[in-house]
Amino acid sequence: MIFPEALFKEKTNIMYILGISAFYHDSAACLVKDGNIVAAAQEERFTRKKHDMNFPAKAIEYCLKEAGITINDINYVGFYDKPFIKFERILYSAFQYAPIGIGMFLKAMPPWLKQKLFTRKVIHKELKYEGELLFTEHHESHAASAYYPSPYTDAAIITVDGVGEWTTTSYGIGEDNKITILSDIKFPHSIGLLYSAFTYYLGFKVNSGEYKVMGLAPYGKPKYAHIIFEKLVDLKEDGSFKLNMQYFNYGAGLTMTNSKFDTLFGDKPRKSESKLTQKDMDIASSIQFVTEEIMLRIVKHVYKLTKKKNLCMAGGVALNCVANGRILRESSFDNIWVTPASGDAGGALGTALFIWHQYLDNKKVVIDNKDKLSGTYLGPSFNSSEIEKFLIENKANFIKLENSELPGKIADLISEEKVIGWFQGRMEFGPRALGARSIIADARSKNMQLIMNQKIKFRESFRPFAPSVLEEHVSEYFDIHQESPYMLFVADVAKEKLTNFSDNQDDKCGLDKLNVIRSEIPAVTHVDCTARVQTVNRDENPLYYDTIKKFYEKTGCPVIINTSFNVRGEPIVCTPEDAFKCFMRTNMDYLILGNYLLEKEEQAELKNDIDWKNEFELD
């Protein structure tokens, strides 16, 4: 028999840590219970405002609800960076570039004086929390988000992003429960900012359009790489680098590049939404190539220095899955693990785990060589009664499928070239949809890439789609020989699966390359015959796995398209309502919400929804 006192004691011994990232971009919250990640979510999913930077009140509310606790049960709150050091950088930059920096200073000051300098007070006030509040450095948070959830107890760590407080790139080691940062590169010398400068120059939004540059790169050739290395980047043998700030304006101004940069590349920055030229594609290809070369050199140096077998990576640049693919193939590390929430949202996870392991000195345990992210399914879920209630209230026509018949039915629909909104279980944490909030379709279809881009996602035609593949079949279809559950590595499509497209077709330029059928799975084969692979295993997501398996049994193909459940500019759907609206507004054919299947043709039109395309600002 357990005495009530014993129960009480056990309860009070539980340690809850709440991690927060906020006020810059991608606000998020993460709750850790005795070192285990209970919940994590980005604020944008709740507020429906992409990259929402406000205090993550709704994400925190969700995390507490998921654990069944209140703020009074929290032992520590962690914030993912140190605002004062960041403030120091901004003052220093304004001073250094004076009087030119006055414009930047004038814009930067108000949010700092109104809110960011008072981050401590704001957090206490918003949370109604009087307990301990700790601040970890930005790159410590990234390093922690990379190492602590990883399946290693001994690893090298690399973090690369735009900028934190001062640091833009760092490397170190993780041994047992301790992280040691060995070296860093400081602002304004930054790979992330270099990539963002080109993103800006190519007419895409900084901080959200970088993945478009990555997607555009294979349409071009790296003709300008030598200019970038000669004029913009001084790259050393050990991977350290300096940017030539004469060509950039982000140190002191309100743009990323300046007129000298324009002269170097022979044009002003491309206007947003204007036609993409071959030159744009060549520039995208060049900066992608340069980024890969810098990353590879850093990785090689870190290996030489640390001699670790394992490598963990985080930071916004670690979401460059083309570079990650090259690191996987070309570096000497045996194993590489990239945290799926590599951007600033992951800082919430990092700071919470940093407090648990580094500050409170708790052991890091790895069980069965598995990471601690549970497939990143760390967000909200909705049970059958909640979904059914919503559907009835909204007069939706639906049928209910049993768990046993769901995979077969969905596999049939995919094979009939139907596009399906897939809403199952807990939402993913991080920027990728991984089979919880996804749009899925047939990867074998010749027209599906175009249909999905233009009629479902309403986005640029050049952008590729990613495949989900049964883990045991990954090497048959792609040149990758390890699991890739978080869609963070790009690999070549296996030679055996490529079709014999002629040299004449391969010579096509620019967006004409899109119209060439290159493999047995053309909808997920990018123009350079690569794909951003997600491997699916039954342990992490049984329903998704079973559905692909049924599709495989029916068609002989273990690969389907998986893209995020949203339209351009919209955060990935969170609730059944978000999913239903997105389904009704686009040309998706079916929606599977838990066990409930909806066919588009059976639904009445959404009322009062005429202006929805203006609801989300284009990214």
Partner 1 sequence: MAKISIIRELWDFMKVRKKFWLAPIIVVLLLLGILIVFTQSSALAPFIYALF
What does the binding site for partner 1 look like in residue numbers (CB under 8 A)?
24-25, 84-86, 88, 90-95, 104-114, 117-118, 120-121, 162-163, 187-188, 190, 192-193, 196, 200, 205-207, 250-251, 254-256
- 212 contacts 460 by C-beta, under 8 angstroms: yes
Other CB atoms within 10 A of residue 584 CB:
20
Residue whose C-alpha is closest to residue 265's, from 188, 187, 203:
203
Element (H, E) at 173: strand 167-175
Q: 10 Å Cβ neighbour count for 96?
A: 12
Burial of 386 (0-12, 13-18, 19+ CB in 10 A): middle
Pick the closer one to partner 1 by CB: 255 or 603. 255
Q: Pick between residue 251 and residue 569 the one whose CB is nearest to partner 1.
A: 251
Considering beta carbons, is residue 162 or 239 the nearer one to partner 1? 162
Supply the minimum distance, in Å, between the C-beta of residue 388 and partner 1. Answer: 41
Residues 6+ apart with CB under 8 A from 316: 160, 161, 162, 192, 210, 342, 343, 344
- On whether the CB atoms of residues 40 and 377 are closer than 8 A, the answer is no
Q: Which is nearer to partner 1, 121 or 389 (CB)?
A: 121
A 10 A CB-CB count for 278 gives: 14
Q: Which residue is listed with tokens 């993945």?
A: 211
Q: Which is nearer to partner 1, 612 or 616 (CB)?
A: 616
Identify the three-state secondary structure at position 576. Answer: helix
Minimum Å gap between C-beta 111 and partner 1 is 5
State how far the Cα of 261 lies from the Cα of 93, in Å rounded to an integer. 20
Task: Tell me the angle at which helices 384-393 and 576-585 cross, rounded to the nearest 10 degrees.
Answer: 50
Sheet holding 28-33, edge to edge: 36-42, 28-33, 16-21, 76-79, 132-135
With beta carbons less than 8 A apart as the criterion, state whether 409 and 385 touch: no
Minimum CB separation from partner 1 for residue 77, in Å? 17
- Which CB sits closer to partner 1, 192 or 485? 192
Closest to partner 1 by CB, 33 vs 568, is 568
Nearest to partner 1 of 91, 451 (CB atom): 91
Taking the complex as a whole, the smallest distance from the CB of residue 242 to partner 1 amounts, in Å, to: 17
Question: Shortest distance, CB of residue 422 to partner 1, whole angstroms?
Answer: 31
Report the residue number, 93 or 468, with the smaller CB distance to partner 1.
93
Q: How far is the CB of 256 from partner 1 (least distance, A)?
A: 6
Instruction: Please report how close the Cβ of residue 80 comes to partner 1 at its closest, in angstroms.
Output: 12
Residue 187 has, within 13 A of its CA and on its CB side, a CA count of 20
CB of 91 to partner 1, least distance (A): 6
Contact 598, 590 (CB under 8 A): yes
Query: Which residues are bridge partners to 513 per DSSP?
Result: none
Give least dist CB 120 to partner 1, A. Answer: 7
